[in-house]
């Protein structure tokens, strides 16, 4: 059917399929690295070497699954891949980032590249396959992505669909996608990105070649933040420690918010040590400083903040492990504080916090404020053990 049309001239049906696919997929583009091409992605050599070699040998699988924690370069890599597939300068093994094709991909305007992203937290059937035919219940549904990848590339070499946060596809969306995976069109590539592949149907997973992306090493992250983003050594270290393994989270971290939350948690911990009325005020302030929409989430995030401080106090109390301190900018002050505490008591306090966190996550809907108060009472009494003995 395609042969009767001039190359590059889309048919009406093709244009309609493209418009429908773009309109329903949800618009998104890949996050950018500082440098163009695969060279701009750090710490993922193993996954990317295999990918580049497949590109160069023209042996790229039709379906790929990028697996690994968030913020480590999966989506950026998928963006470079979709550029490399159509780059007119550096392709097929890499992307130049400067040619018109690479620019179009970067701006989400390339007619052969489609990103599907969650809408209000889910990828729904409508985004993969929007509506049934009007004629009959049993007629084949419209399948924008299935249709769209089936057409020959409009101006590049290969069509590419990237489904970001693929685990957020609901079961009917996953089933609709299976059709494309069962009979993948020749000149197409599908990339699923997810930190949680177990949420995908086994039949989807088995049809994809999985590429594992690893958490990044601390030293690598620090070097990148210092060299590429011109951060001070202190800021680079703090951000890397607060978001272990994830460059994306380290970059996006709101340090002011972190510091404010930490100050409140520190105050609450000191109130807990004092006990009495101070403790109750501390619990209330701590709960209010927690992040999240629901009270339970706020309480859980408040407990995290106290736990982070106790972790550092424990490291400092044991001594000789200062590189493990997360809030190293407070290390001097906290070393003095830690010297007044016994490591065993801190471990006991951490256990109390863990129990409170478990209670918060239980389906019994505990009272958030009461749980925080009880946790602080437990932490205070654990930390005072040493002086009581
Ligand atoms: Zn290019």
| pLDDT at position 5 over 60 | no
Distance (Å) from CA 80 to ligand 1 centroid? 10
Q: What is the pLDDT of residue 28?
A: 67
Of 22-26, 96-100, 233-237, 337-341, least confident by mean pLDDT is 22-26
Q: How far is the CA of 107 from the centre of ligand 1 (A)?
A: 13
DSSP structural state of residue 123: B
Which SS3 state, helix, strand or coil, does residue 169 take?
strand
* CA of residue 386 to ligand 1 center, whole Å: 65
Q: State residue 211's pLDDT score.
A: 96
Judge whether residue 316 has pLDDT over 90: yes
The DSSP bridge pattern shows strands 188-194 and 159-163 to be parallel
* Range name among 98-107, 183-192, 309-318 with the lowest pLDDT average: 183-192
Q: DSSP for 130-175? A: ----SS-TTSPPP-HHHHHHHSPPSSSS-EEEEETTGGGB-HHHHH
Residue 99 Cα, ligand 1 centroid: separation in angstroms?
A: 4
pLDDT at 138: 40
Instruction: Give residue 92 CA to ligand 1 midpoint distance, Å.
Output: 10
CA 134/CA 141 separation, integer angstroms: 9
Q: Which of 69-83, 240-254, 291-305 has the lowest mean pLDDT?
A: 291-305
Start-to-end Cα distance in the chain: 87
Using the mean position of ligand 1's atoms as its centre, give its distance from the Cα of residue 33 in Å.
15
Tokens, residue 68:
């690994």
Of 260, 313, 264, 311, which is closest to residue 284 (Cα–Cα)? 264
Identify the three-state secondary structure at position 159: strand
For 223-245, the pLDDT digits (tens) are 999 998 999 999 999 999 888 89
Angle separating helix axes 218-227 and 233-242, nearest 10 degrees: 140
Q: How far is the CA of 90 from the centre of ligand 1 (A)?
A: 6
pLDDT tier at 144, thresholds 50, 70, 90: low
Compute the distance from residue 79 Cα to the ligand 1 centre, in Å. 12
94 Cα–ligand 1 center, Å: 8
For 57-78, what is the mean pLDDT?
Answer: 94
Q: What is the mean pLDDT of residues 296-319?
A: 91
CA of 35 to the centre of ligand 1 (A): 13
Q: Enter the tokens of residue 259.
A: 């510091």
**Residue 349 vs residue 24, higher pLDDT:** 349
Compute, in angstroms, the gap from residue 316 CA to the centroid of ligand 1. Answer: 50
Q: What CA–CA distance (Å, rounded) separates 127 from 139?
A: 19
| 98 alpha carbon – ligand 1 mean position (Å) | 5
Is the pLDDT at 7 greater than 60, yes or no?
Answer: no
Give the pLDDT score at 321.
Answer: 78
Q: What is d(CA 100, CA 186) in angstroms, rounded to the nearest whole number?
A: 24
CB of 226 closer than 8 Å to CB of 247: no
Q: Point out which residues pair with 65 in neighbouring strands.
A: 192, 210
Residue 219 buriedness (CB in 10 A; 0-12 / 13-18 / 19+): exposed
Picking from 24-28, 152-156, 306-310, 318-322, which range would have the lowest pLDDT averaged per residue?
24-28
Kindly state the greatest CA–CA separation across the chain: 90
Is the pLDDT at 137 greater than 50? The verdict is no
Whether 56 shows a pLDDT value over 70: the answer reads yes
Q: How far is the CA of 260 from the centre of ligand 1 (A)?
A: 44
Measured CA distances, 70 to 30, 254, 292 (Å)? 14, 17, 19
Residue 27's φ and ψ, nearest 5 degrees, are: -90, 135
**How does pLDDT run across 253-301, given as a tens digit for each residue?**
999 988 998 999 999 999 898 887 888 888 888 888 877 778 888 888 8
- Over 90: is that where the pLDDT of 146 sits? no
- By percentage, how much of the chain surpasses pLDDT 90? 51
N residues, the chain: 389
Confidence of residue 21 (pLDDT cuts 50, 70, 90): low
Mean pLDDT in residue range 47-61: 94
87 alpha carbon – ligand 1 mean position (Å): 4
- The pLDDT of residue 129 is above 70: no
3-class DSSP assignment, residue 15: helix
Give 58's Cβ-side CA count (13 Å radius): 4
Mean pLDDT of 315-335: 87
Strand order, beta sheet including 159-163? 113-116, 159-163, 188-194, 63-67, 209-212
Residue 22 has pLDDT above 70, yes or no: no
Predicted TM-score (pTM) of the model is 0.76
What 3-state class would DSSP assign to 116? Answer: strand
Q: 27 C-alpha to center of ligand 1: Å?
A: 21
Ligand 1 centroid vs 111 CA: distance in angstroms? 15
How many Å lie between the centroid of ligand 1 and the Cα of residue 215?
28
pLDDT at 226: 94
Count of C-beta atoms within a 10 Å radius of residue 347: 13
**Residue 139 pLDDT exceeds 80:** no
| Nearest-angstrom CA–CA distance, 328 and 234 | 9
CA of 86 to the centre of ligand 1 (A): 7
Q: Tell me, what's the pLDDT at 343?
A: 94
Q: What is the DSSP string of 35-97?
A: SSSGGGS-S-HHHHHHHHHHHHTT---SEEEEES-TTSSHHHHHHHHHHHHH-SSSTTT---S
CA of 39 to the centre of ligand 1 (A): 14
Rounded distance from Cα 29 to ligand 1 centre (Å): 16
pLDDT for the residue 133 = 41
Whether 192 has a pLDDT exceeding 90, the answer reads yes
Greatest mean pLDDT range, 120-129, 164-173, 185-194, 347-356? 347-356
């Amino acid at each position: 059917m395609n042969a009767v049309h001039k190359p590059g001239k889309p048919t009406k049906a093709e244009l309609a399929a493209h418009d429908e696919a773009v309109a329903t997929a949800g618009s998104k583009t890949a996050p950018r690295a500082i440098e163009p091409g695969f060279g701009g992605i750090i710490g993922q050599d193993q996954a990317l070497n295999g990918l580049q070699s497949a590109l160069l040998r023209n042996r790229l699988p039709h379906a790929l699954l990028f697996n690994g924690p968030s913020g480590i370069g999966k989506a950026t890599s998928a963006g470079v891949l979709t550029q490399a597939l159509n780059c007119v300068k550096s392709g097929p093994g890499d992307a130049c980032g400067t040619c018109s094709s690479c620019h179009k991909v970067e701006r989400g305007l390339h007619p052969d590249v489609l990103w599907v992203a969650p809408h209000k937290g889910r990828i729904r059937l409508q985004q993969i396959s929007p509506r049934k035919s009007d004629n009959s219940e049993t007629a084949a549904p419209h399948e924008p992505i299935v249709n769209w990848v089936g057409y020959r590339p409009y101006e590049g070499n290969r069509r590419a669909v990237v489904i970001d946060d693929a685990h957020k596809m609901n079961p009917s969306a996953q089933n609709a996608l299976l059709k494309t995976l069962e009979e993948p069109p020749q000149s197409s590539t599908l990339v699923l990105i997810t930190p949680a592949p177990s949420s995908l149907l086994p039949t989807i997973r088995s049809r994809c070649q999985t590429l594992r992306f690893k958490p990044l090493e601390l030293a690598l992250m620090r070097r990148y933040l210092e060299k590429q983003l011109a951060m001070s050594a202190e800021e680079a270290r703090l951000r890397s420690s607060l978001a272990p393994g994830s460059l994306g989270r380290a970059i996006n971290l709101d340090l002011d918010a972190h510091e404010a939350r930490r100050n409140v948690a520190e105050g609450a911990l000191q109130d807990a040590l004092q006990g009495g009325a101070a403790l109750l005020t501390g619990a209330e302030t701590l709960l209010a400083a927690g992040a999240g929409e629901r009270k339970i989430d706020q309480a859980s995030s408040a407990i995290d903040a106290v736990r982070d401080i106790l972790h550092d106090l424990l490291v400092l109390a044991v001594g000789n492990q200062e590189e493990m301190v997360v809030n190293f900018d407070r290390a001097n002050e906290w070393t003095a504080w830690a010297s007044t505490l016994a490591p065993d008591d801190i471990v006991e306090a951490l256990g109390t916090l863990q129990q409170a966190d478990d209670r918060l996550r239980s389906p019994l809907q505990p009272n958030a404020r009461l749980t925080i108060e009880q946790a602080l009472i437990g932490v205070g009494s654990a930390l005072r053990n040493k002086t009581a003995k």
